[in-house]
Amino acid sequence: MESRQLRAAGRLIGVGVGPGDSHLITVKGVQALKRSPVVAFPAGRQQPGTAEQIIAPWGRRGQTRLPLEFPFVQEIGLLEAAWEKAATQVWTYLGQGLDVAFACEGDIGFYSTFTYLAQTLQRHHPQITIEAVPGICSPLAATAVLGLPLTVRSQKLAVLPALYTVDELEQALSWAEVVVLMKVSSVYPQVWSLLKRHHRLEHSYVVAYATRPEQRIYTDLSRHPQLELPYFSLLIVQKNPESHPDSLI
Amino acid sequence: MESRQLRAAGRLIGVGVGPGDSHLITVKGVQALKRSPVVAFPAGRQQPGTAEQIIAPWGRRGQTRLPLEFPFVQEIGLLEAAWEKAATQVWTYLGQGLDVAFACEGDIGFYSTFTYLAQTLQRHHPQITIEAVPGICSPLAATAVLGLPLTVRSQKLAVLPALYTVDELEQALSWAEVVVLMKVSSVYPQVWSLLKRHHRLEHSYVVAYATRPEQRIYTDLSRHPQLELPYFSLLIVQKNPESHPDSLI
């Protein structure tokens, strides 16, 4: 009875819950969270995780809350084991016909854990329906709190995730007017030296925890050769507004 | 009485209203629109503009609705004249101490008209307070409706606005795993030929009007050497998921 089975499985709904402020989730995201009998999210360490904190006001009584473990490591074997385990936990509910909303920080398709969970589930259960509700990604949140646009007019944008090399960064700076470095904390001193050589420090910015109470902003990085930064800090290199008509807000 | 004047001026609040679906605006954006006595937006042509359509469910009785003209041209003189005129119209209300929410499609800092309006107002009235509520930008909406992530793991992202050259596009393809071309309609045939030469058509996608009733999606562009596309169409070049472990959803 394949057709009955198709109808019976619940949907996995990825909800990008935005950067931190609970009100920077979309209306559609709130609706998905409220409607779903099961709400999953990355488990926090000592305290509730960011996504869990963001969705705290949007819960509904009687929902099953499902924290899923995703380790902060690069080792693909450990990551895959975590995705497999999380997919199995989620399938427990989907297989019973229950929808599961997965809340993740930022957007669901921008360097998101949701992608790996969805891929793993789809590999084991190709029939399941996966829906995606986009969210505000961190570069947009960071520039909003800086009071700057991310990009204007004919500016090109380059985004580098973690693990970038000096070479990649130099190429990005030569190609794009605006460069965003995600997860900059571990390589900050090297990045700072490179930006200094290229005279780009003055219009570079570091933002961590954008729109959250612990938000941290650093402008004019020439004053900050060393910074102790949290893991999810990002660095934005803008071009010099004085030298071009594409000035900042 | 400078300090009285400072307190008296209203705030300009840029609200990114997302790609099209009225429910893809943030909760904070809805609150800003409902609270503001004046709601401005880019004027539509024959029919209401996109931002105006998106915010239709979020209005409040008695609000002043202020359509502002922004011509679809590249000529900087015409654009600046339009920004000046719009800034004067908005200042009519700000100067009376009334807050003005400006609704714009997508995000407020990602190639957005809001930037130019805010810059023009700030140049004439440096004391005004400008706030920014970010929104879902079109690449995130496009990938969500495609059921794909925009970026995963160590993938680099390049975004090119309109007016890109073949050379810029070749550089982007060699540097980044994922390339987004905004406003691709006028150069689609040239882009298609270039992607064909680089064997990148199969995992390239065109999306127009994402999340709106008139949404259009084209996958596997090898079948589409020619497309009649609307102005705000975007093209996403992904890398071949078979050749890499960073596969799509």
Indicate whether A245 pLDDT > 70. Answer: no
Q: Do A115 and B140 touch (CB under 8 A)?
A: no
Query: What pLDDT score was predicted for residue A159?
Result: 97
Q: Closest Cα of chain A to B64: distance in Å?
A: 24
For testing contact with chain B, the best of A12, A22, A23 (most B CBs within 10 A): A23
A173-211 residue pLDDT tens = 999 999 999 999 999 999 999 999 999 999 999 999 999
| Share of residues in chain B with pLDDT > 70 (%) | 93
DSSP state of B109: S
User: Residue with structure tokens 């009235």?
Assistant: B125
Question: If you classify domain A2-133 with CATH, what class do you get?
Answer: alpha beta
A85-97 residue pLDDT tens = 999 999 999 999 9
CB atoms within 10 A of CB B123: 12
Q: Closest Cα of chain B to A139: distance in Å?
A: 10
Residue A106 C-alpha from the chain's centroid: 4
Question: Of the given ranges (A72-76, B24-28, B75-79, B245-249), which has the lowest mean pLDDT?
Answer: B245-249
Residue A71 makes CB contacts below 8 A (sequence gap 6+) with A78, A79, A82
Q: Do B112 and A149 touch (CB under 8 A)?
A: yes
Question: Which tokens go with B229?
Answer: 């596309």
Q: Report H helices in B176-230.
A: 188-197
CATH 1.10.10.10 matches B138-243:
no
The residues of chain A that CATH labels 3.40.1010.10 are 2-133
Question: Of the given ranges (A21-25, A38-42, A127-131, B164-168), which has the lowest mean pLDDT?
Answer: B164-168
The radius of gyration of chain A's CA atoms, rounded to the nearest angstrom, is 20
Query: What pLDDT score was predicted for residue A246?
Result: 42
For chain A, the average pLDDT equals 92
Residue B45 makes CB contacts below 8 A (sequence gap 6+) with none
Q: Do B109 and A158 touch (CB under 8 A)?
A: no
The closest CB to that of B149, out of A27, A115, A148, belongs to A115
Q: Do A108 and B30 touch (CB under 8 A)?
A: no
Q: Report H helices in chain A.
A: 2-8, 27-35, 50-54, 76-94, 113-124, 138-146, 166-175, 188-197
Q: Closest Cα of chain A to B152: distance in Å?
A: 5
For chain B, the average pLDDT equals 92
The closest CB to that of A144, out of B109, B119, B247, belongs to B109
Query: What pLDDT score was predicted for residue B241?
Result: 61
The closest CB to that of B155, out of A107, A135, A161, belongs to A161
Query: What pLDDT score was predicted for residue B223?
Result: 95
Q: Which residue of chain B has the CA closest to A138?
A: B134
CA-CA-CA-CA dihedral for A150, A152, A154, A156, to nearest 10: 0
B95-146 residue pLDDT tens = 999 999 999 999 999 999 999 999 999 999 999 999 999 999 999 999 999 9
Q: Do A108 and B149 touch (CB under 8 A)?
A: yes
d(CA B164, CA B168): 6
Residue B49 makes CB contacts below 8 A (sequence gap 6+) with B41, B42, B43, B67
The closest CB to that of B247, out of A108, A119, A134, belongs to A119
Residue A91 to residues A84, A101, A116, B13, B154, Cα–Cα distance (Å): 10, 12, 14, 43, 28
Give burial (CB, 10 Å; 0-12/13-18/19+) of B125: middle
Question: Which tokens go with A182?
Answer: 């995600």
Q: Do A136 and B141 touch (CB under 8 A)?
A: no
The residues of chain B that CATH labels 3.30.950.10 are 138-243
Instruction: Give, rounded to a whole angstrom, the gap between the first and last alpha carbons of chain B.
Output: 60
Q: Work out the average pLDDT over B219-238.
A: 95
Q: Closest Cα of chain B to A21: distance in Å?
A: 9
User: Residues of A with CB below 8 A from B144's CB?
Assistant: 108-109, 132-134
Q: DSSP 3-state assignment of A87?
A: helix
Query: What pLDDT score was predicted for residue B7?
Result: 54
